[in-house]
Structure 1
């Protein structure tokens, strides 16, 4: 069991507002999916105060022969480490790739906490941030957060990491519990996870997800021309069944994706996003098109040309507590959506097609392709028209004591 540091979370500073935000991230900016909710919030908060995205230090050691694309994971992280501190010119967000030891024993987690805390202090000094707040998306960074002095601490409760394959469940929960204890608030995207942890943190806030509504609606209007089709999608045989986002072995159902490709042939299965798992068996199907990660601003122009949007997730413990951002974006686009049945989709079941098995998923795709109810497009859009990432980020900024004007 991981012991709490004797140098744990200091008393809050006396400052009413912070002058910068340190976001202990759950992805690596340089090679992971930048459409993640945590990234969407960070880039918006960066418009108000200097904000630093600390690239993830992970929580499991890739093991060749056991972990998918293990050597590729090592190589991409090494390349990330060479970048140091950079500023993204498009968003103004600072990105820092911390030096750490990729070991996750209690001793090494505490050592990495000390090492990361030291690096964060140097980054704050370089950027002249004197009174930072912290938002934490990755529990293995808890020992570093405990060593800091913050205006506010917010736990970005985006996933239940105890269910991550190859991670030490008891150790991860111990870290998450410590983080809940020292946080001023926890921001949740999944109501079930929030309800499970009520009373473990000072304030529980259900923030949900936003959507860049106008961007997606404009890309696929009910009448008129869609956004110009990207070159990477031109001349693809129809129908186009599509998915975009991070693809991890603990999220994606490989067998289902293969069945989908074969079922819709000669149509095309389009997968957009970084390869975070071994997709070789799926890509072996001749009618599967993989497109590398595209920026969030270009995503709508690609997804607008799907005939059906899909979420072929595994029905497993990890996904039980997930809440994919893409669902609201699919709804804003207005087209038919087919998903594996999971708690996060329940609120929108009247607007989407859900399945409990592979065979049922294929039947639902056939039904979605035959859909001819224009009123459903409007209903889907109305369901998410009040959501926006600006609102979500503003609520999180409030929790972090970010000043309205800086």
Structure 2
């Protein structure tokens, strides 16, 4: 293993000057003065099989659509799926292998380059540093091939930080979208120091959760709370009167009795409260209604799908979601109240509010700004009672209040800020790319 690492370091150091190995491994290389001519986004999802509604993807594809050369590096993960201990482990192996076989592709819809890197599925400190060398070499080759001489980097997955540390960048941004060190199943002793290195060594750290930003105040040279955006018009137009559409439902929703209690998004064992979902399904059934789950099943849903009034619809493009979600009578966010979710900030809360239906969520800090507009619950019984209240709360006045809260939160505005932080050239509106620093 050591010989492989030495060969990779040799290959890396033989590249162009801006791609040389750094000496101080605890700090990212000093940023260059040239304007950014490309963005390498080390993502926390796999573009080919995860939900593309994640904030990282939303921002990256918008940069690409604006004409900024953008390379998305698919996530290498943080833990090894273990059959018998990790849910749907074999499915995860199959998906990742299929992704890696794609190599480098350009998404024809967005113009963004997507690369599935080769890596060693070992997440010990030595394994992560080896992958840092391996991934840095691959990124260096791709940057050269794509003509990115003065690229900026965004890191969303801490295990990819060691690769970014080995390359020179115009600017480096750590997207602190979650506290991965507290993620169930992850090795805190390994992941937390990687996050600390990125927080202290990046040019900018961007946060979506105010509590996490406050907890790390003073550690970074430049911290920004950016939050999330929402495609407001796209969601609001599906329920123009604030009520479920009167026309035909999508085929996948045909025949479902109302009320429809719904959730969409990725379903992971460390996010979702499985027991609560079973209880929600039975609660809906007692009222003659249905539970609808839309999104990729990244956990075992068998106990939930055993309920006769539950319908699971697989992953769909983000642009198709509003037409389905518009038929929900209540939107729910049934998350576990654990340390990891304490630092989350789900995009779907703003999308739910833009659609306008009543919302019931597990009580978490990210939802506190919407107190009075949504129902929050700390126990399962409270959650079920909140659903009953929400079903009586679907008035035109309440719909207008929900929508007004997020009407100005566009993804384009969020992307404008990210572009400035990355040192990208000024936008068509004439923004000053040097004003941030």
TM-score range, shorter chain: over 0.9
Q: 1:47 aligns with which of 46, 65, 87?
A: 65
Instruction: Tell me the number of residue pairs that the alignment of Structure 1 and Structure 2 aligns.
Output: 402
Q: Partners in 2 of 1:154 and 1:341 — Cα distance?
A: 30
Matched, 1:176 2:156: no
Q: Partners in 1 of 2:280 and 2:29 — Cα distance?
A: 53
User: Offset at 1:405?
Assistant: 5.0
Matched, 1:10 2:32: no
User: Which residue does 1:388 correspond to in 2?
Assistant: 410
| Structure 2 counterpart SS, 1:150 | coil
Q: Which runs of 5+ in 1 are unaligned?
A: none
CA 1:10 to 1:227, structure 2 compared with 1: closer, same or farther past 3 Å? farther
User: Offset at 1:165?
Assistant: 1.3
Q: 1:233 aligns with which of 253, 257, 272?
A: 253
Q: Partners in 2 of 1:216 and 1:35 — Cα distance?
A: 13
Q: 1:369 aligns with which of 391, 409, 412?
A: 391
| Structure 2 counterpart SS, 1:209 | coil
- 1:67-146 aligned at under 5 Å gives the runs 67-146=86-165
- 1:257-272 aligned at under 5 Å gives the runs 257-265=277-285, 266-272=288-294
CA 1:118 to 1:227, structure 2 compared with 1: closer, same or farther past 3 Å? farther
User: Which residue does 1:29 correspond to in 2?
Assistant: 47
CA 1:177 to 1:227, structure 2 compared with 1: closer, same or farther past 3 Å? farther
User: Which residue does 1:204 correspond to in 2?
Assistant: 223
Q: Partners in 2 of 1:203 and 1:324 — Cα distance?
A: 24
* Bigger RCO (CA 8 Å, 6+ sep): 1
Q: 1:65 aligns with which of 84, 108, 129?
A: 84
Deviations 1:320-375 (A, max 9, x none): 01010000000011111011111111110100111111111111111111225321
TM-score by length of 1: 0.96
User: Offset at 1:110?
Assistant: 0.8
**Contact 1:190/1:321 (CA < 8 Å) preserved in 2?**
yes
User: Which residue does 1:192 correspond to in 2?
Assistant: 211
Deviations 1:112-148 (A, max 9, x none): 0000001111111221111110000000011101001
| Structure 1 counterpart SS, 2:291 | strand
Q: 2:167 aligns with which of 129, 133, 148?
A: 148
User: Offset at 1:229?
Assistant: 2.7
Q: Partners in 2 of 1:181 and 1:373 — Cα distance?
A: 48
Q: Partners in 2 of 1:40 and 1:227 — Cα distance?
A: 30
Q: Partners in 1 of 2:400 and 2:242 — Cα distance?
A: 12
Deviations 1:244-293 (A, max 9, x none): 01111000000000011111113111111111111111111111111111
Q: Partners in 1 of 2:183 and 2:328 — Cα distance?
A: 30
Structure with bigger gyration radius: 2
User: Which residue does 1:165 correspond to in 2?
Assistant: 184
Q: Partners in 2 of 1:283 and 1:57 — Cα distance?
A: 30
Deviates more, 1:224-233 or 1:205-214: 224-233
User: Which residue does 2:379 correspond to in 1?
Assistant: 357
User: Offset at 1:10?
Assistant: 2.7
User: Offset at 1:7?
Assistant: 6.0
Q: 2:272 aligns with which of 246, 249, 252?
A: 252
CA 1:226 to 1:322, structure 2 compared with 1: closer, same or farther past 3 Å? farther
Q: Partners in 1 of 2:421 and 2:148 — Cα distance?
A: 18
Q: 1:328 aligns with which of 350, 370, 376?
A: 350
**Contact 1:220/1:227 (CA < 8 Å) preserved in 2?**
no
